Structure 1
Amino acid sequence: MKIDRIHHVAYRCKDAKETVLWYNKMLKMDFVLAIAEDQVPSTKEPDPYMHVFLDAGNGNVLAFFELPTKPPMGRDPNTPEWVQHIAYRVKDRAELLAFKDHLQANGVEVLGVTDHGAFHSIYFYDPNGHRVELACPDPEEEEMLRKLDAVKWDMLEEWSKTRRAPRHAAFLHAREFKQ
């Protein structure tokens, strides 16, 4: 048995239409499907919802639920905002910078470009407060990933014993990348 791929990833949204229009305009995702019910199919709970699906490229689907009868969305107060996010890969640095310019021109506050060694990222928030990351490969991505692959189990083992950041991959952030 083996998982084929992710079918979709679902998040909650404040307004389904606003969310679809934002992702279409800001990230160029196509709106592919909407499902609305007055009852949850799996639990049979009476609870109207709108479930929208967006094409995130290469068979990846991002979905949202608008739940008008539920209390407003909240966050886990024990998890920092930077932890939970949706990350998408873009072709290269030129495309990453084009998205950054596009987002900023449309009033979206963007953090970065951040150099992660194997890839570079920008960060911003969607209209629901979800953190979004766009990442592009570093020119040395393959070499960096090969090095990371060689130390992953040692890093995990050390972390599980010490709960301190192992230094096996310190090379990732050892350089300062110029924008």
Structure 2
Amino acid sequence: MDADRIALLLPEVYRRALVAGSPLDGILHVMAAQHAPVEGVLHRFPEVFDPYLTPDRFVTYLARWVDLLGWLEDEDGELATGNGRLRVLVAASAELARRRGTAAGLRTALTLALGVPGVEVDDLVPGPDDEPVPFLVRVTVPAEAAEHAELVERIVREEKPAHVVAEVVYLGGPPDGDG
């Protein structure tokens, strides 16, 4: 807010006494200078909540707001696949929350978190009699994401319904390379 706009907020008696170069004029200019940094922040305020524009140090804070804390490596807010992936997840958090507990939601969450295509979630896993096993889902993860097995396990644990058992299968063998 500049000095002229601040002057409009003053009582009429002060405005009539306002003369360029007077002590009152100086005070108004000092007030305007003191407001400038705060107004600059307020002008850029929407950027703070945009996960693609916010500073790196604030992405973790946004992730906590949208319930992604359990996906992070530690309290410092590191996602195993990087800050760029975390920004994508925060941006998609409303859609992820809407689809939480569904096969499509789990597939989307894993695909966005890992940054690799080809994640499959099968909620009709056939049993020995070729009938679907109730309350069982099979999550198939591409081999290139095997290095992030801990992240996959955390996301599956948090995103699947509580009454469902999930098995995670890595294409090309287990994540530790034993098969």
- TM-score w.r.t. the length of structure 1 is 0.24
**Which structure is larger by alpha-carbon Rg, 1 or 2?**
2
Bigger relative contact order (CA 8 A; separation at least 6) = 1
Higher strand proportion (structure 1 or 2): 1
